[in-house]
Every structure is written in C-alpha cells, then in structure tokens.
Structure 1
Amino acid sequence: MTTQLTDESEHAVLSPAERAAHGREARRRAPRSCHGWFEADGDRPDPVAVLERQSATRVPELVPVRYGRMLESPFRFYRGAAALMATDLGRLPSTGLTVQLCGDAHLLNFRLLASPERHLVFDINDFDETFPGPFEWDVKRLAASFAIAGRHNGFSASEQDGAVRACVRAYRARMREFAAMPTLDVWYAQDDADRMSALLASSMSKGARRRTAAATAKARTRTHLQAFAKLTRVTADGRRIAPDPPLVTPLRDLLTDPSDDRQEKELRGVVEDYARTLSSERRFLLRRYRLVDMARKVVGVGSVGTRCWILLLLGKGDDDPLLLQAKEAQESVLAAHTSGPRYDNQGRRVVTGQRLIQTTSDIFLGWTRAVGLDGVGRDFYVRQLWDWKGIARPDTMDPDLLRLFAQLCGAGLARAHARSGDPVAIAAYLGGSDRFDRALAAFAQAYADQNERDADALAAAVASGRVRASTL
C-alpha cells in the first residue's frame, strides 16, 4: 500500500478556516481512534527477511555487528528496525496530512546540539530516513519508543503509558500553539536548552535538575577538539586517525595494495565535489583546511554496515583540526510506502530534509557521491563529527524524568513538523480532547509487543545459523 500525500504547499493560498476544515476532513479518512490499533496480519513480511534485504547493500563484515547490537535489548532492536516499522505504518489508515518526516523519530534521535551561533539547542539529530509523509508516522514511532524504553527500565504499564501520553499531549498542545502563530514566528521557533531547563525546573526533583545541568554542561564539552583528541594520534607524518578496528579503520589499512592511491584520490575528489553543495562563504572557510587522513567508522545501530568515513582536515597546524563525517545515504525506508519525491542523490535528500526540520543546521552540511573500494558509486551526506552533542540516557531515568523527557521530545517534534507541514490543519485534526493521546498510548503498547516478537525472530535466526551476530 502506497500512501497518497496531499500537497501541503496549497495551505499558503487557503484561509485559516479552510485549512482547519481540511484537517477536520482528514478524520473521515483516518478517525483519531483508529490510531490506537495495531495487529500484524498474515501478509506482513518476515522481519528477518526485511533486515536481510537491507544488509545486502552493506559492508558484509559489519552486518553481524549490526545484528549483535540489535540483539542487546528490545530497545536497541527498535533503533535498527525503522524499515520494519515503515512497512507496518504504510499499511495503516493515513491522515494524508503531509510533513517532512524525520523517518526515525525514536527518543534517542532527540538531543542537545550546537547552533552556528554557538547556542545549545534541543532538536532532532538523525535524518537518514527523512522523507515527506503523514505526520502521524513520526508521532507513532516516537510514542512506541517511550513504551519500549519504559519496559526496558522495568516500569509498570501505567508508567509507560504516562510517558507516551505526555509525549503526544505535548505534541498536540505545541501544534495548537503553532497554529495560532504567524508563519515567520513558526519558522524561527527553537528550543533553547537554557530556556527548556527553566521551564522544566518546577517539575523536576532536585536530583533531576542536577542531572539535567550536568548533561547540558557535558554537551558543551563534546566539541570537535574532544573528538580530535580521542580519534587521532601523533605519528611521524603528523596527526593521523588512530586505528581501532573494526570500529575505526584508516583507509591505508583497508587497501590491499598500500601503494594504490586511487581510493585516496577518489575521497579527495569527494571533498571537492561536496564543497560545491555549500554556500560560497562556507566553501571559502573549507578551503582554509587541507585533508590529511580518512578512516571508515562504525556508527549507531541501524546504520551499522553502511559506509561511513571520518575525514581529518587541518588548518594552520596540527592543533587546528576540522573533523568531518561522510555517511552513506541510501533510499529512505519510507520511500516505498508513500508517494513523495524521488532524488538523484540520496545525500541531497537527507540534507534537504534536515534543513527543513532543524532550526539550525551544521554549517558544513552538504552532500556528494563517491566510488567506494568495491568500485560502486554511492551517495553520501557530510557534516561535522561531534559539535556540542548531548545524548539522553533513558536507561538511567526514573518514570518522572522519562515523562518529562517525553514532553520535550513531543514538543520538539511538533516544532519540526510545523515548519514543513500545515500546523493549522494538523491542530484541527488533533482537536482539543485527549482522544489522539489515548489512541497512541494503545498503539505504543501494541507495537512494543510486536517489536519484542521481531527481536525474538532475529534471535531465532541467529540461533539457527540463518544469520550471524557479533558482539563488538
């Protein structure tokens, strides 16, 4: 089933009343109560087969690492199972109210980030699967992640539901706020970390406030200089990336013939091609650095096995670094299930989606195409590696703190959706009652059950020898 999308650009020429009527009309296609249902039918694809299809285009020796990481817990499995959920969401009733979806809006993809003005903001950070689609797909993925995280922490069902409903309620309330705001005010809105801390202080315990302050302070230390110190070492040739195979493998160690410089020339050409996707002043800045080393890096859970390179560039000397990450961009897992646009470069898709969703994006964000060690051309997007990034630790949260974090994520997702979608129509669809909130709580529990069955299926496939898992 392919979801047909409405043209949300039309809302610019409709009156607010017409836009609200459009949102309420969507209840005919997908009543709010219908979102509380999920049950896999007999036509649902084999979950392991879906994962194997993804793995077919990945670095073969890293695929077992991906499976090993997914099997560590149901929550880690969920992080790697965006393709499974995209298939499930595509088979459900759809509102047709389009936004630029994150595509993988689980709770760990919301974090503290540095703006170009060096302010710490709270925003979405992962856009590998970004694609236009019905707004509720992101909300459902986010809601289910809180139920799964709550189960992992041993919380009761009511505590899990409390976090999910807090998330969805915050999304709905924030969307109503955006529906009443001028267009430019919606676009300029951002979640400054200091303002968020002040807003939440009255709801937090003293211990939670201390932990939040510590997390904010730690995020400010996660700069490119910290990454530089961790990932590089001094050699006879100057600063170079330190090997840590198979997680970090310098290019020189991947070559069968160390004297063959074709791959290095290709990657140097990648930097030149990527620079053309930057604005002129940022190209000027990039030219002040020279590329000195590169390495393949294993990242994340769902991304393991896709090609990811870290590029070490130096400016005035060995103590003036710029670390870039060039990450492979494959077709979004959502593309097969919705009628969105097609791109000539999947890296461009990621960058376009990120710029639509984020209030402030990395100044070095761009895209390119490169021929890999296997001679196959692949799309990449490029950004800085580490820049004031603060990552949540849901496994350390009590029920109250998880519920507060859920509010932040729900409100942040609403801000992201309001930028590219029609907040008036979405707010009208959601309405002022908690009907949608209650439905999503039921969905989250049902999908958490399905996620556990899928994780068990992968574990059984490993036990039978169908696939191999590695713990690294």
Structure 2
Amino acid sequence: MAATIDELAACPDPSSRPDPIAVLTAQATSRVADLIPVRNARMAATPFTFYRGAAAVMAGDLAATPDSGVTTQLCGDAHLSNFGVFNTPERRMIFDLNDFDETSPGPFEWDLKRLAASFVVAGRGNGFDAVTTRDCAREVAKSYRRWILASVQQSTMECWYARIDVEEMIAAVGKMLDTSTEARTVKGLKKARHRNSLQALGKLCVFDEHGDPHIRSDPPLLVPVHELFGDHHADMVAERIGERIEEYRANLPDYIRALFDQFTPVDFARKVVGVGSVGTRAWIVLMRGQRGEDPLFLQLKEAQRSVLVDHVPTAPYPNQGQRVVEGQRLLQAASDLFLGWTSGFDENGEKRDFYVRQLRDGKGSVVVEALNPAELTLYARLCGRALAQAHARTASRHDIADYLQSGKGFARAIADFAETYADLNAGDHSAMTTEIAEGRLEVHELA
C-alpha cells in the first residue's frame, strides 16, 4: 500500500538498521584495495563527506521506510554536491544534476529525501542553526512540488527541453544576491567556463624535451599507467584500455565517431575522483588532435551495480555503463557529446563495465562550506527545481503530481525526515571515526 504524505517522514529505527560500517566494508570488496584508505579518509573528514560516500547505507534505509508507490527514473545519489554547471554541446552553460553512477528506477521521493537531508547535514556542518537547516529542507520540497505541478501544465516536449540556463538564472536571481555574493558567483562561473581539456593539459601534464605532453604523477590521486604497473604489465593494461576505447568508439553514433576519430590516444593514468567513487577504477585518457596542439581528455569511469538494485525491481542492463548513460540521457537537460559506454578486462583479468565522458567541459560546483544561510536556502530552491525538471522528463510526472496533491504537509514530512536522517548520519560518521581511532579502519591522509 502506498504511504500517505505524512508517512514519508518515517526514518528507520537505529537499532534495526544494518551496521553502516559493515555496508561500506562490503561495498569496498569490489574496489581497488590500496585506494580504500583514501576513501575512508575522505569520508571520515566531516559528517557531510561521510554522507556523500554513504549512498549504499541510505539506499537500505530508504527501502526500510514507507514509500509513495510512484516510480520514476532516479538519479540515485541526488545530494547537493551532485548538482552543478556544465557546458551543453551547443556551448550554453546550464545548471543540472551531474552524477548518475547510481541511477535506477525507484520511488520518486528517494531522490528528494537524499537531497533534502544533504542540506541539513551540510548546513549543520557550516554551523547554521536548526531553523535555517530545516528551512533549507522545506525549500527543497516546496520547490520540487512547485515545478512538478507546473510540469503537468506543459507539453511533453516542453518538459523534455526544460533547462536552467545559467546566464538567465543569474539575471533572474541577481537582485536577491548581495554585491559580494553576485561577484563571487560570476567569478566561479568564469572559472568553470575555462575548465576544459586545454586547461586540464596545463594542470595534469608535464612536457618532455620535445614538447610532448605526458600525464604527470601525483600518487595516489593521479598515477600514469606505466608507473602504476611494471613495464610488461603496464603495456598489457594500456592495451586493454585501448581495447575499451575501441569498443566505446564502436558504440558512438556515426557523426560523433567522425569527430572522435580526429583524435589519437597518447597517454593513460588512473585518477582518484570524488568521495563515494574512490576505489572504483577510473582512468583518464589524454588524446591529441591531428596537428598535435589540440588536446582532449576523456574519463573512463567504472560503473558497478547501482546501490538501489537490491531494493527495487528493475530490468538489468547488459552493461552497467550503459545503465548510467541511459539514465543520464533521460534525466539530464543536455548531456556530454562524448558520453558513451564500454567494457573490458582489468589488470586481474576480471570483466569491468565503464562509462566514458569528457574529463572537463565547463564543469563546476558550489563550495558548500562557503555558503551563508541565505545562499544555502537559495541553492536549495534551485536544486529542488532541477530535480523536479529531471523527473518531469519521464512519463511519471503526472503520477508524481497526483500524489503530491493527495494530501497536505509534503514539505513538512520531507523536512522531518531530513532532520531525523541527519541525526542518523551523524551517528554513522561518529562510528566510522571510532573505527579509525581504534585501528580497525585504515586511512591514507592526503595534504
């Protein structure tokens, strides 16, 4: 039976939950063992960084609570740091969801609950009072509800093409920002606009005596393939990465393949990314254009099973990279021109699935720790809108709207959940730091 709106406030009893550290430890068994201490260190830094890495923990918690019964395609990890700006193929900068590693069908409110709770956790980390953090959670829910209800008044194609254009957004909300905030926002957007392959070339590469670029070494976060393995083994791994790239190329549409074929791979490296993703295989590929002065950086990121699949019925994809790509294309207003998927065997001979994208293409995100209460509240409304527009691209928007109109108190219920879950998360973070202090979890601290 579908939960009432009031029942969406329910959180699992702490005493009845699986041990969160055991959940994370089990998840680590499929990852690169020498990177798990890096993941532990990143997660243990603050309650918010723990929250970012604990999507598997929260998936189990959400599955243990009443749900709406209304299924849509989920981002699966819709916390506030997984939203940001990026360039569309038409070279417009938009704001949207930008991480789909856990995408899967599921109850629509699971995305919303993860988003709302992330604002409470982040706001507490910034030292904001309980009134402010609860207001942020309420604004997420109110904005989501407002934009979902608006979507059912639009045509299917209007919903599909809806997007948050950054320049229009700044013009619209500029009057709500003080001068220093607006200046900081514009500066951040200019910085993001220049985060491209050419900028990455200067930051991630060194040049030999002939002027040829090579990916630099900064272990354990960035390690060229020939430094990571012995010479013979490194050649084999590089060959396998090359095979993955060839399979990826074969999956591209003809017109994108014609563009891709103007570049040649010249170097590979393992790059540690994010918080929750640390330990999954992630390779970056330096490619050069026909004249050698035209860099393109691609990222091959391992796609494992979504943390949601043990809790929701879903048709399996033959390739987990394809699952990520198809979910992203459905939910995101505009996706990377080079988005695609591949598979292949890793250094141990095990088959792995990957999705491929540009490493940098105008990507940028807010520095959560730098936001004041008013800015965090405004950001909550923006993320709620972006999530609603993502869900509204699916056929579920009418069912979601009907559910949202089935009773009162939706924002209150989501805020109640978010506050209670933030308490659970704080306890889980404390448990992790205790495990580290008592030597049961290894950490690799980074400067």
> Could you tell me the TM-score, scaled by structure 1's length?
0.92
Hey, what does 2:356 align to over in structure 1? 382
SS of equivalent to 2:441? coil
Q: How does 1:48-197 map to 2 (within 5 A)?
A: 48-197=21-170
Q: CA deviation at 1:259?
A: 7.3
Q: CA deviation at 1:229?
A: 1.0
Hey, what does 2:342 align to over in structure 1? 368
Q: CA deviation at 1:341?
A: 1.4
Q: How does 1:1-400 map to 2 (within 5 A)?
A: 29-236=2-209, 238-258=212-232, 261-400=235-374
Output the CA distance in 1 between the equivalents of 2:6 and 2:207.
Answer: 60
Superposed CA offset, 1:360-414 (max 9, x none)? 1001000011211122110000000011012101111111110000000000000
Hey, what does 1:5 align to over in structure 2? none
Output the CA distance in 2 between the equivalents of 1:385 and 1:164.
Answer: 32
| Counterpart amino acid of residue 330 in structure 1 | Q
SS of equivalent to 2:266? strand
Q: 1:398 to 1:259 in 2, by over 3 A?
A: closer
Moved more, 169-178 or 314-323: 314-323
Output the CA distance in 2 between the equivalents of 1:274 and 1:96.
Answer: 36
Q: 1:259 to 1:276 in 2, by over 3 A?
A: closer
CA contact (8 A) 1:115 1:360 kept: yes
Superposed CA offset, 1:261-280 (max 9, x none)? 22221111111101122111
CA contact (8 A) 1:368 1:380 kept: yes
RMSD between aligned alpha carbons?
1.4
Superposed CA offset, 1:46-87 (max 9, x none)? 111100011111111100000000011000000000000000
Q: CA deviation at 1:430?
A: 1.1
Q: CA deviation at 1:95?
A: 1.2
| Counterpart amino acid of residue 280 in structure 1 | D
Output the CA distance in 2 between the equivalents of 1:313 and 1:321.
Answer: 6
CA contact (8 A) 1:39 1:446 kept: no
Output the CA distance in 2 between the equivalents of 1:133 and 1:162.
Answer: 26
SS of equivalent to 1:454? helix
Moved more, 284-293 or 30-39: 30-39
> Could you tell me the TM-score, scaled by structure 2's length?
0.97
The share of aligned pairs that are identical, in percent, is: 46
Aligned length: 445
> Does residue 365 of structure 2 align to residue 404 of structure 1?
no
Moved more, 225-234 or 325-334: 225-234
Q: CA deviation at 1:201?
A: 1.9
Output the CA distance in 1 between the equivalents of 2:269 and 2:238.
Answer: 10
SS of equivalent to 1:390? coil
Q: CA deviation at 1:258?
A: 4.3
Unmatched tracts of structure 1, length 5 or more: 1-27
SS of equivalent to 2:223? strand
CA contact (8 A) 1:97 1:134 kept: yes
CA contact (8 A) 1:325 1:385 kept: yes
Output the CA distance in 2 between the equivalents of 1:96 and 1:195.
Answer: 36
CA contact (8 A) 2:12 2:65 kept: no
SS of equivalent to 2:393? helix
Q: CA deviation at 1:236?
A: 4.5
Output the CA distance in 2 between the equivalents of 1:457 and 1:29.
Answer: 33
